[in-house]
Amino acid sequence: MGNLLKVLTCTELEQGPNFFLDFENAQPTEGEREVWNQVNSVLQDSESILSGLQAYKGAGQEIRDAIQNPNDLLLQERAWNSVCPLVIRLKKFYSFSLRLEEALQSLLESLTCPPYTPTQHLEKEQALAKQFAEILHFTLRFDELKMRIPAIQNDFSYYRRTISRNRINNMNLDIESEVNNEMANRMSLFYAEATPMLKTLSNATTNFVTENKTLPLENTTDCLSTMASVCKVMLETPDYTSRFSSEDTLLFCMRVMVGVIILYDHVHPNGAFNKSSKIDMKGCIKVLKDQPADNVEGLLNALNYKMLYNTIKHKTRIK
């Protein structure tokens, strides 16, 4: 099994298999290499995307000055010249989400295809499982940062208002060669989401299930529920956490666990919070609450938001 070690527990038959997955050191086998290379070409850009988002300051002051002084052409030009590079950066983030979507679907195809079960795939293809985890880790980090930057939507709204006004005035807008109207519409929908990257992955997972009609739904949901069990066991077992060379791996596991729970909830007809769920939700939440509050506040909020959303949706359907 290499670095993926089976955890023998008395509840295995009830909760499904649990594994310890070496998120730090798993390396691709020859059989994994082609997909691993494809996904790695995407993941290697993830840190620069996060750095770019973290450094995003916005053009709030320039926009306010322009709005308060509509007849001052210098201030209008200053605001426009401040916003345009930011919009190009926002396009880069959005374009990366499309690459991430393709990467996730490639991994799902590899980790769910017959004749192996999802559990057997995780045993045999540890490096791909690690990449799957890295995509989820990145996704939650991106969305946590995005929620703290209201300037993104303010800047983009100003850009769209201004470009519409200038288009009416028949002005030549060079930036439209970079961000045309169709692209702006798609970006607007993306950034309107509270958690745009997670929404992208959720849709990608749903599309994967829809497009692969001959593949049993359980192959995908079992892959997700097994990953949740992997992370829960790793977090609650000192013998396993002691193997990590970095404390950052603990937060990595927590983010991955929450990410797969949300994907499972999005794809499974009964959701993750139903009693029939193969995910031990009480155990997962307990593991999070046992961690320092500063590390898990955002993750618990994500689960609470999902539960609240499901409750509202269910009540609306009943009415």
Domain ranges of the chain: 30-317
| pLDDT band with cut points at 50, 70 and 90 for residue 239 | confident
SS3 call for 20: strand
Q: Average pLDDT in the 99-104 region?
A: 97
CA dist 129 to 70, 228, 300, Å?
54, 12, 24
Find out whether 77 and 174 touch, Cβ atoms under 8 Å. Answer: no
With b meaning 16 or more CB within 10 Å and e meaning fewer, what string describes 68-107? Answer: eeeeeeebbebbbebbbebbebbbebbebbebbbebbbbb
Q: Average pLDDT in the 14-19 region?
A: 53
Average pLDDT, the chain: 87
Residue (of 91, 86, 107, 87) closest to 42 by Cα position: 107
Query: What is the Cα–Cα distance from 132 to 79, expressed in whole angstroms?
Result: 40
Query: What is the Cα–Cα distance from 89 to 273, expressed in whole angstroms?
Result: 37
| pLDDT band with cut points at 50, 70 and 90 for residue 310 | low
> What whole-number percentage of the chain has pLDDT above 90?
64
**pLDDT recorded at residue 169:** 54
With b meaning 16 or more CB within 10 Å and e meaning fewer, what string describes 115-153? Answer: ebbbbebbbbbbbbbbbbbbbbbbbbbbbbebeeeeebe
Find out whether 261 and 284 touch, Cβ atoms under 8 Å. Answer: yes
Tens digit of pLDDT for each residue in 170-188? 454 677 778 888 999 999 9
Residues in Cβ contact with 14 at an 8 Å cutoff, skipping those fewer than 6 apart: none
Q: What share of the chain is helix, strand, coil (3-state, %, to 5)?
A: 70, 0, 25
Is the pLDDT confidence value at 245 over 80? yes
Residues in Cβ contact with 187 at an 8 Å cutoff, skipping those fewer than 6 apart: 90, 91, 94, 156, 179
Tens digit of pLDDT for each residue in 133-156? 999 999 999 999 999 999 999 999
Which tokens sit at 194?
A: 């509270």
Place of tokens 């692969």: 212
Is the pLDDT confidence value at 9 over 50? no
Query: What is the Cα–Cα distance from 167 to 162, expressed in whole angstroms?
Result: 8
